Structure 1
Amino acid sequence: MPDKSPSTLSIPAKAMLKLGLERDIDLALHLPLRYEDETRLTRVMDLRDGDTAQVEGIVRECRVDLRQRRQLIVKLDDHGAVLLLRFINFYASQQKAWAPGVRLRVRGEARHGFFGREMVHPTVKVVQEDTPLAASLTPVYPTTAGLPQAYLRKAVAAGLARAPLFEVLPPEVVPPGWPSLRESLRFLHHPSPEVSTFTLEDHSHPAWMRLKFEELVAQQVSQRQARMERAHLKAPALVGQPGGLHERLLAVLPFQLTTAQRRVTEEIAADIARPMPMHRLLQGDVGSGKTVVAALAAAVAIDAGWQCALMAPTEILAEQHLRKLVSWLEPLGITVAWLTGSLKSKAKREQLALVASGQAQLVVGTHAVIQDQVEFARLGLALIDEQHRFGVAQRLQLRRKLEDQALEPHLLMMSATPIPRTLAMTYLADLDVSTIDELPPGRTPIVTKVFSDNRREEVIERIREEAERGRQVYWVCPLIDETQESDEAADTRAGRETQRRPPLDLSNVTQTHEELSGALAGQGVGLLHGRLPAAEKAEVMARFSAGELKVLVATTVIEVGVDVPNASLMVIEHAERFGLSQLHQLRGRVGRGSVASVCVLLYSAPLSDQGKARLKAMAETTDGFEIARRDLDIRGPGEFMGSRQSGAALLRFADFGQDEDLVHQAGEAAQVMLERHPHAAQEHVRRWLGGKAEYLKA
């Protein structure tokens, strides 16, 4: 594609840039969504209702009909059988080109109209009697506004012809019997009509298998390269002292660690004792106790004379961590600094000075922790909570900030969204994974009920009963007010990762707060959302935690980290609009004490297929790993891993539900290439990932 500034490009060329179609290889890898069969003709007399077919005939009449609405009517004669073509949107030039006597080849869906067989807005070509039919199936490509299929087909064909599709993978790693990359791509762009369309649609054809394998090998090589690069870096060896902070913290904790918590604590301690950077993911279901594991790791780092930083995606979650860590560590003589975007200038300068001087051994905050003005004296351990909630660009910013030091800090990422095994083998191939697969004792199972919103009054009555028993209730809404600004939009102003905003027809949190305040007079109904000032948010949460407020009407700011054991009922309004992982996180705010807890999912009809799948999954299981597996099926890996900000899906062809065997094969092939064919490995990553390799390492 010519190197032009965007302002001088044509509309189709701009649309191609938007799709990421810049290099010839990008065009070659832009595969069809589906195919149209233009290799055969069907006689008009043989058409049946609902058939999508291609027919040919002579125009007998072409006129503009003005009776009901302006439309172009064309009568096509195929050996005496007439097919009516109807066009609601048309140009005068079409009426002229399709004059009586012209031969047309049209393709569309046949139906029985008032005047006999007809097609509405079929594709049309002017042909001669001897114009040959297509020799292969016609590709229909993913496209965008301003990019017609005809333009895209020509561009892809040209890119496919020019792309350097020589074999990069050594023959020894390619399973026998598969076509070459060039053969695979040529076939998938223009398959022969004899091929089984089923094998094309379900991606089981050998040409598809070759493509998925190539992509997975590139991804696996990139991940393993990241692990190898890290092996050459140096990090401080963090070893706790006998009778030191780690043991003192264990002694003062008001609970015993579970077996799983002890296991992962030992895994982390062994990692950070080595002089190379740890790169570990700590995953555990909602409420499994990841914060105490993080605190024990921080204790080892501080005991060894180094600082520790903990970064959380929202201020409320960061405050929850701060309260727990301060209550555990300050009595042991540890200074904790607090950094968020909402700090006043004077307070911020004071906190930055504590961090830079090394007086603050532990730093807790939001994305503000990685801003340019933050300088650590001796950062030895970085903790990122809910790592998938940060945009890829922000995670890269953290890595680059840490690279400025002579010694790299150890990195522990935490997630309450368990990662399905196949996904961990691919996206997290450069990570070590620790799993807390056990909940602390005393947690009660949560019953999940799904109700239509026409049962709202019943739900409010149940809230009244719970409040009168002394229990507490969450009511979660998607919006703040009629301006349609969600918490995520408020986050955007603060530089945090954004989510899609729900549409305007949803109930909003301020209206719901007014409604429940009236219906539950005397019970204390609080309001919490992302646009409240930090001090007001903290006051509301403190009153709810203390039991002064019986009901908390909130947006998803309470999604993670909020811990009120007395809360026994969670109501999520417009639950069909939330992601499955988010619903599971919200549900995890109850069931944190010994009281039987209920989560009510209120939905508005009609439900989409995805909405039905999410609500069904929530009703059927409380297992975070099963929820994660279904969430992956529904959303795909890019959304699941927080990679939306990369601008493109990190894997386009492989399917985690179908291709687990291929993942294993690709991993073995990647290892062989790195050991025996390092130049081929590098070339393969460059071809497939380009600049996206960095996103895989984030």
Structure 2
Amino acid sequence: MDLTLLPPGIQTRLLKLGISRPFDLVLHLPSRYEDETQLYPLADAPIGTPVLVEGEVQSAETTFRPKKQFVARISDGTGTLVVRLINFYPNQVKQLAVGKRVRLYGEIRHGFWGDEMVHPKVKNVGESNGLNEALTPVYPTVAGLAQAPLTKLIAKALTSCHLSDTLPTALIHDLGLPAFADSVRFLHHPTPDVARVQLTERLHPTWRRVKFDELLAQQLSLRMARAVRRERSAPKIAPPGRLAAQLVASLPFGLTKAQNRVLLEIAKDLKQPHPMQRLLQGDVGAGKTIVAAIAACHAIEAGYQVALLAPTEILAEQHYRKLSQWLTPLGIKVVWLTGSLKAKEKRAALEDAALGTASLVCGTHAIFQSSVEFKRLGLAVVDEQHRFGVAQRLALREKGGSPHQLMMSATPIPRTLAMSFYADLDVSVIDELPPGRTPIVTKLISDARRDEITERIAAKVGEGRQVYWVCPLIEESEALQLQTAVDTHAQLSEELEGIKVGLLHGRMKPDEKAAIMQAFIANEIQLLVATTVIEVGVDVPNASLMVIEHAERMGLAQLHQLRGRVGRGAHASLCILLYSGPLGDTAKERLKVIYENTDGFVIANEDLRIRGPGELAGVRQSGVPMLRFADLEADADLLEAAREAAGQLLSQDRTIAEAHLQRWLPGREALLKV
């Protein structure tokens, strides 16, 4: 079977479905099934569930009230049924001509003219029309590719592709799973006696076999990517540690046990001859930046340069200011490099990086540009790593051969997600907050009580504290009808006389944003109205009240990040989640989670349950294949089994591992580069 022989239009549509080779058709499994194996008499056909019925067309006409539609009535001797087509074509009218015997599949419901089917699937009945022996598959498809030709292509692939097992019989037997060939054939054409819930909920043993194979392929690819990276050489960084000791001694605070533990793990990695690939996790305010600064000191003392990347200019500048404050007194030159720098400043920063006079370069995506060169890059620190894609991380590696990489994330990653999508990384967790941090109280308040909020703001400012007010949009959107940051700024400026109200959003020029943030840090602005550009990294200890407008429209991770902008000092802090009713079930569930929990890992697990892995922690940008069939929460046992099996296969029979990967992830070479 050769897909390149198909018409170009069909090939294009198949590619949109992720189908580029015949075996992809085998793995293109049905999204649902229709039961055309049982024919119901009209008198006994159940209401409200899809059924197959048959009868002769008694009448058919096009009506124009209340709007144009085609109405036919069929009978089978036991009862009658109305068929309504609101949008129809001449061939459908011909199919439902009076006297024709037809078979209909659809959901019967009570209508104005009696029991009816609206837009059923219609087939004309001939003498040899028997019933189907298996459930009818319904496949995911795209516009221009109907079910019939797609079904034919899949049927051809099932007969022409090799479906023999790629895995050892003993492994499959030990896990109690069916053969691969039996599994995919069954899932494409299941027998009608199978419990429907087992199919729709993907609980049937054949589904478990497919999910295990998918998870195993992912685990194998990650382990092989890790092995390839370990074959690369990286600088051994093992200085005496005097520079790091000087930095720690100069700090006005002490390090936590968790920070010290993580620093030992990083120092051990830096001494290795292969590149460190470590993910540093820590909840909001856990002290990841100082850990990165100490790691940077190790690299700088050993004669190497360090690059620190952040996804936004606000966060990059925050890092630049903080690191300059810590490291400049130690004789370390820190420079800032972003796309918005003036030409003269940019040339100077590029020269400092290329000549090696800058030991630490803080910046945004600008660091990835080809014009940026380092004399001796030894360590790259990537903050909020999930916001950077695979190509960007590859570009960073090429700046210095194979520098050590420390990736930081304030979005805690649930265990099953870490096992699945981050299994090729070493993970360090800062699991305690620095002493002196006050817990943040969270309140849910309807936006009908906005007046109470402004009174609370005035009281907080009167105590010398500062306030954030976060809005989700900059300009009015007819679709969402949300209060905008611009309007809110104008409204609060009018209501809160004597209080300096600032405005910050992503469309402002970089120097304007920097000036506003600096004024807020200096307490020249008491109330900062902002969009979600302040989600990460902004650190103003005097800010103790956060108001988040339309909180019901935000995700859990974002709400947790925003809430973490307060509670960074010794003052009691409050986060008010303003919501607009009525709330949907998912919005209620999210707000309940954020109200009841402050632990980022608990919130991340709930986020995984509600949203799924594809939207969480940058999995879509991770370069790791997305899971189509397995569910990390429901199939945690299969994930554990796949992890164990991957290790065994790679150590005992790499040929089997390669064959399995070729079936599931052909062309995985791009993964091995990251």
Q: Tell me the TM-score range normalised by the shorter chain.
A: over 0.9
Deviation readout 1:568-601 (Å, 9 max, x if unpaired): 1111112122221111100000111122211112
Q: Which residue of 2 aligns with 1:41?
A: 39
* Compared CA separation, residues 171 and 49, structure 1 to 2 (3 A): closer
Q: Which residue of 1 aligns with 2:521?
A: 545
The CA distance in 2 between the partners of 1:293 and 1:34, in whole Å, is 50
Deviation readout 1:290-322 (Å, 9 max, x if unpaired): 000000000001111111111111111111111
Q: Does 1:644 align with 2:620?
A: yes
Query: Which letter does structure 1 place at the counterpart of 2:217?
Result: A
Q: Does 1:466 align with 2:442?
A: no
Q: Which residue of 2 aligns with 1:146?
A: 144
The CA distance in 2 between the partners of 1:18 and 1:456, in whole Å, is 47
Q: Which residue of 2 aligns with 1:97?
A: 95
Q: Does 1:536 align with 2:535?
A: no
Where does 1:248-267 land on structure 2 (aligned, <5 Å)?
248-267=246-265
Instruction: Decide which moves more: 151-160 or 519-528.
Output: 151-160
Query: Which letter does structure 2 place at the counterpart of 1:36?
Result: E
- Of 318, 321, 325, the residue aligned with 1:320 is 318
Q: Which residue of 2 aligns with 1:593?
A: 569
Q: Would the aligned equivalents of 2:438 and 2:572 in 1 still touch at CA under 8 Å?
A: yes
Deviation readout 1:525-562 (Å, 9 max, x if unpaired): 10001111111111111111111111101111100111
Query: Which letter does structure 2 place at the counterpart of 1:528?
Result: L
Q: Which residue of 2 aligns with 1:444?
A: 438
Q: Would the aligned equivalents of 1:48 and 1:111 in 2 still touch at CA under 8 Å?
A: no
Q: Which residue of 2 aligns with 1:169?
A: 167
Q: Which residue of 2 aligns with 1:664?
A: 640
Q: Which residue of 2 aligns with 1:496?
A: none
- Of 131, 135, 138, the residue aligned with 1:137 is 135
Q: Which residue of 1 aligns with 2:237?
A: 238
Q: Which residue of 1 aligns with 2:228?
A: 229
Q: Would the aligned equivalents of 1:217 and 1:669 in 2 still touch at CA under 8 Å?
A: yes
Q: Does 1:453 align with 2:454?
A: no
* Compared CA separation, residues 667 and 645, structure 1 to 2 (3 A): closer
Q: Which residue of 1 aligns with 2:153?
A: 155
User: Structure 1 residue 3: deviation in Å?
Assistant: 3.4
User: Structure 1 residue 227: deviation in Å?
Assistant: 1.7
Query: Which letter does structure 2 place at the counterpart of 1:346?
Result: K
User: Structure 1 residue 606: deviation in Å?
Assistant: 3.6
The CA distance in 1 between the partners of 2:128 and 2:621, in whole Å, is 51
Q: Which residue of 1 aligns with 2:218?
A: 219
User: Structure 1 residue 145: deviation in Å?
Assistant: 3.1
User: Structure 1 residue 391: deviation in Å?
Assistant: 2.7
Deviation readout 1:150-187 (Å, 9 max, x if unpaired): 33322322333333323222223324442221211111
The CA distance in 2 between the partners of 1:454 and 1:696, in whole Å, is 54
* Compared CA separation, residues 605 and 209, structure 1 to 2 (3 A): same
Query: Which letter does structure 2 place at the counterpart of 1:624?
Result: G
* Compared CA separation, residues 691 and 597, structure 1 to 2 (3 A): farther
Tell me, what secondary structure is at the counterpart of 1:22? Answer: coil
Tell me, what secondary structure is at the counterpart of 1:46? Answer: coil
- Of 375, 389, 392, the residue aligned with 2:390 is 392
The CA distance in 2 between the partners of 1:162 and 1:317, in whole Å, is 55
Query: Which letter does structure 1 place at the counterpart of 2:182?
Result: E
* Compared CA separation, residues 607 and 695, structure 1 to 2 (3 A): farther
Tell me, what secondary structure is at the counterpart of 2:666? Answer: helix
User: Structure 1 residue 503: deviation in Å?
Assistant: 4.6
Q: Would the aligned equivalents of 1:222 and 1:693 in 2 still touch at CA under 8 Å?
A: no
The CA distance in 2 between the partners of 1:433 and 1:96, in whole Å, is 65
Query: Which letter does structure 2 place at the counterpart of 1:157?
Result: A
* Compared CA separation, residues 661 and 347, structure 1 to 2 (3 A): same
* Compared CA separation, residues 144 and 449, structure 1 to 2 (3 A): farther
User: Structure 1 residue 48: deviation in Å?
Assistant: 3.9
Query: Which letter does structure 1 place at the counterpart of 2:254?
Result: Q
User: Structure 1 residue 696: deviation in Å?
Assistant: 8.1
- Of 650, 654, 661, the residue aligned with 1:685 is 661
* Compared CA separation, residues 647 and 667, structure 1 to 2 (3 A): closer
Say what the alpha-carbon RMSD is for the aligned residues: 2.0
Q: Does 1:508 align with 2:484?
A: yes
The CA distance in 2 between the partners of 1:476 and 1:292, in whole Å, is 27
The CA distance in 2 between the partners of 1:166 and 1:687, in whole Å, is 11
* Compared CA separation, residues 647 and 37, structure 1 to 2 (3 A): farther
Q: Which residue of 2 aligns with 1:477?
A: 471
Q: Which residue of 2 aligns with 1:3?
A: 4
Tell me, what secondary structure is at the counterpart of 1:45? Answer: coil
The CA distance in 1 between the partners of 2:530 and 2:311, in whole Å, is 17
The CA distance in 1 between the partners of 2:258 and 2:623, in whole Å, is 37
Q: Which residue of 2 aligns with 1:566?
A: 542
Q: Which residue of 1 aligns with 2:208?
A: 209
Query: Which letter does structure 2 place at the counterpart of 1:208?
Result: W
Q: Which residue of 2 aligns with 1:187?
A: 186
Tell me, what secondary structure is at the counterpart of 1:585? Answer: helix
Tell me, what secondary structure is at the counterpart of 1:3? Answer: helix
Q: Does 1:335 align with 2:333?
A: yes
The CA distance in 2 between the partners of 1:194 and 1:49, in whole Å, is 21
Query: Which letter does structure 1 place at the counterpart of 2:377?
Result: L
Deviation readout 1:413-447 (Å, 9 max, x if unpaired): 00001111121112121111110000011111112
Where does 1:272-287 land on structure 2 (aligned, <5 Å)?
272-287=270-285
Where does 1:400-439 land on structure 2 (aligned, <5 Å)?
401-402=398-399, 405=401, 408-439=402-433
Deviation readout 1:17-36 (Å, 9 max, x if unpaired): 21212221222111112211
Where does 1:620-635 land on structure 2 (aligned, <5 Å)?
620-635=596-611
User: Structure 1 residue 107: deviation in Å?
Assistant: 1.4
The CA distance in 1 between the partners of 2:669 and 2:132, in whole Å, is 39
Structure 2 residues not aligned, in runs of 5+: none
- Of 296, 301, 304, the residue aligned with 2:302 is 304
Deviation readout 1:428-472 (Å, 9 max, x if unpaired): 211111100000111111121222322223222222222222221
Deviation readout 1:347-374 (Å, 9 max, x if unpaired): 1111111011111111111111121111
Instruction: Decide which moves more: 201-210 or 166-175.
Output: 166-175
The CA distance in 2 between the partners of 1:503 and 1:114, in whole Å, is 34
User: Structure 1 residue 77: deviation in Å?
Assistant: 0.6
Query: Which letter does structure 2 place at the counterpart of 1:660?
Result: A
User: Structure 1 residue 689: deviation in Å?
Assistant: 2.0
- Of 282, 288, 295, the residue aligned with 1:290 is 288
Q: Would the aligned equivalents of 1:646 and 1:692 in 2 still touch at CA under 8 Å?
A: no
Q: Would the aligned equivalents of 2:624 and 2:671 in 1 still touch at CA under 8 Å?
A: no
The CA distance in 2 between the partners of 1:380 and 1:345, in whole Å, is 27
User: Structure 1 residue 202: deviation in Å?
Assistant: 2.3
Deviation readout 1:189-212 (Å, 9 max, x if unpaired): 111001111221222211111111
The CA distance in 2 between the partners of 1:285 and 1:516, in whole Å, is 32
* Compared CA separation, residues 189 and 434, structure 1 to 2 (3 A): same
Q: Would the aligned equivalents of 1:223 and 1:697 in 2 still touch at CA under 8 Å?
A: no
Tell me, what secondary structure is at the counterpart of 1:359? Answer: coil
Deviation readout 1:636-677 (Å, 9 max, x if unpaired): 222213143589961111111122221121112111221222
Q: Would the aligned equivalents of 1:570 and 1:598 in 2 still touch at CA under 8 Å?
A: yes
The TM-score with structure 1 as length reference comes to 0.93
The CA distance in 2 between the partners of 1:522 and 1:283, in whole Å, is 41
Q: Would the aligned equivalents of 2:504 and 2:516 in 1 still touch at CA under 8 Å?
A: yes
User: Structure 1 residue 385: deviation in Å?
Assistant: 0.5
The CA distance in 1 between the partners of 2:71 and 2:672, in whole Å, is 54
The TM-score with structure 2 as length reference comes to 0.96
The CA distance in 1 between the partners of 2:282 and 2:669, in whole Å, is 27
Query: Which letter does structure 1 place at the counterpart of 2:620?
Result: R
* Compared CA separation, residues 648 and 220, structure 1 to 2 (3 A): closer
The CA distance in 1 between the partners of 2:657 and 2:78, in whole Å, is 63
Tell me, what secondary structure is at the counterpart of 1:26? Answer: helix
Q: Which residue of 2 aligns with 1:361?
A: 359
